[in-house]
Amino acid sequence: MPPNLTKPNSGFTSKPSPLCTFVSLIILLIIGFYTLHYPPGNPKKVLLFQQIFLSSASNSTIASYLRSLTSHPHLAGTKPSLETIHYVKTHFQNLGLETHTVPFQTLLSYPVHASVSMHFGNSTVLNLPLNEMGIPSYPSSGLIQPYHAFSPSGTVHGKVVFANHGREDDYRTLGLMGVNVNGCIVIIRKGGSLSRGAVVKIAEKKGALGVLMYAEGDVSKGSFGSGVERGTVMEGVGDPLTPGWGADEDGERLKLEDKKVLERFPGIPSLPLPFESAQLILDSLEGPLAPQEWRDSGRSNLSHVGSGLVMVNFTYQGEKKLATIYNVVAVIRGLEEPDRYVLMGNHRDAWTYGAVDPNSGTATLLDIARRYALLMRKGWNPRRTIIFCSWDAEEFGMIGSTEWVEQNLVNLGAKAVAYLNVDCAVQGPGFFAGATPQLDNLIFEVTKKVQDQDSEVVATIYEKWKTMNGNNIQRLSGVDSDFAPFLQHAGVPSVDIYYGRDFPVYHTAFDSFNWMINNADPFFWRHVAVAGVWGLLGLHLADDPVLPLDYLSYAKQLQEYKDAFSRVLDGNISLTPLAASIQEFTSAAKQASEETKKLMEQEFTNDLLALKIRALNDRLMLAERGFLDTDGIKGREWFKHLVSVFFSKIAVRTEVLHTGMAM
């Protein structure tokens, strides 16, 4: 980690000189620095390094990385995870990169005991299996039993009601059928776009005693059995004991019983179930017939919604405890602008083996680092500093990345150019991308340079992507990966890319190296494609003299958000001030675009040109910070990016206006 990335720079420490002399000295230093170090890059040389990067791809190398990373389970905060930390750190060090481990002490959650049993009217009891079938015994394999992290401990006994996906609409449907879940256990199938935590919170509000949750999966897509989907039910991101500041070992932290901490956790227990165990409960339900839509929309054999004569006893015991997690950070220092950071990150921890989630991304990141090191041996040095970030404890709620961002917030706010995230690099076929809008055109440009290995004829990712979904770039409005703290809290332009929309072994013990080579990417060519896009994005952002950030795309997106918002309001509130602001933003974006063209057309550098490029780059880099609200979103103050958490949701979920929720 760059020394000044841990603590903010304190400024000049020498004895102050008279103001005029001081200002003159600074100007001379800046001009001298850029005269020596900031000539516009040689386009042919830049292109050569990009070609070398692409040609040095190795699918077998990425496969070897993934095999090593997934040789055993490595849940954050456990002893087996230390081996994975060492593997990643050693890889960076062997490449000659400046490498650090950054520890944090955070609150994590682990299971102690769980059981679910069905109690029939004839006094017979059926204990339901809770683990995956066909998996070696859990102690010997190193697997931790399926559970929901941060679920409260408890024992509940009651009748069961099926609540579909656990959405507000689903409970309204039950109400119209005369079914009340108050005092019952609800069983829910995953889906419907809600997080686990939101599902449990809603059930708690409806008076449910506890929640049993199952994923239907799809054996036809290559699952070796019905997996059990682990996950967190904590609300928000980051360590709950240190909201807003880094979780240093000796730092200040809230008490576990603090109200702000308890608000992050549900008040009723929850547990994931294997599909087969869930089906046994569903078969026992009586009461009204399930709506036809519910019966037709999944793999479950469903007739009634409940309740029936069968009672279910459900016990979960867990422990919340402080555990040390480790981020691994490696640095390639920029030659001309070492104080400008291009960050490339992926989390390393996994619920089980984590072949897809997240180590397909980790293996890809390690390969990009290998190829960048090769470029350095051939004479390449980036203009700006590149930082590789291997995050820990993402699965518990983006904890590792959030704590690091909070710890380095001042420096990131002043110096971060962009954050490029890849979580599950390869889930299956088809390229997908999410980004803040000023990075759209760069993504298009890069995907035109990388071949798509899924095409029967030679084609670029851009061409295949266009036929698949029209080159649609999603917006990063959620908090489902490590881009969240960079964008939502620090206002850093961000990207998230991956291959494949879904995969049936998500968060299960079947997410293994064998599943990857038999289903998602047998020859690792999709990994190579992701590495190509991810690595070229990093090269452009680190090397282009003028940052490739196009705010005309952002202006267009803001206009679309405003139009969608206007349709929701239906003319009841004037949006004239908002429209005027967007128009002003559009004018500034056009001016920046024209300025970029003029600066790049100049063939020879001089002192003034160097200063103009630096000034323009600063404006381009810092513009995203302008969407941050210092006080944060009301009721969710940690989330500060107004556009990301509000307007983008208006475009896809108009009910935001009615629920009052900003996410």
Other Cβ atoms within 10 Å of 119 Cβ, number: 15
Other Cβ atoms within 10 Å of 240 Cβ, number: 27
Of the candidates 156, 159, 229, which has an alpha carbon nearest to the alpha carbon of residue 195? Answer: 229
Measured at the alpha carbon of residue 403, what is the angle toward residues 400 and 408, in degrees to the nearest 5?
A: 125
- Asked if 310 and 120 touch (Cβ cutoff 8 Å), the reply is yes
Of the candidates 256, 134, 148, 239, which has an alpha carbon nearest to the alpha carbon of residue 200? Answer: 148
| End-to-end Cα spacing for the chain | 33
Helical axes 440-447 vs 461-469, angle rounded to 10°: 120
- Asked if 469 and 433 touch (Cβ cutoff 8 Å), the reply is no
Phi/psi for 283 (5° steps) reads: -65, -25
Instruction: Round to whole Å and give the CA distance between 481 and 627.
Output: 20
- Asked if 163 and 186 touch (Cβ cutoff 8 Å), the reply is yes
Of the candidates 375, 530, 422, which has an alpha carbon nearest to the alpha carbon of residue 50? Answer: 375
Active-site residue among 337, 394, 403, 406? 394
Other Cβ atoms within 10 Å of 4 Cβ, number: 16
- Asked if 132 and 511 touch (Cβ cutoff 8 Å), the reply is no
Element at 317 (helix H, strand E): strand 311-332
Of the candidates 135, 303, 142, 149, which has an alpha carbon nearest to the alpha carbon of residue 226? Answer: 135
Residue labelled with tokens 């420490």? 13
- Sheet strands (E) in 445-601: 473-474, 494-499
- Asked if 424 and 481 touch (Cβ cutoff 8 Å), the reply is no
Phi/psi for 99 (5° steps) reads: -130, 140
In Å, how far from its chain's centre is CA 648? 17
Instruction: Round to whole Å and give the CA distance between 541 and 385.
Output: 10
> Exposed, middle or buried, 342 (CB in 10 Å: 0-12/13-18/19+)?
buried
Phi/psi for 393 (5° steps) reads: 60, 30
Amino acid at 284: S
394 in catalytic set: yes
* Residues taking part in catalysis: 394
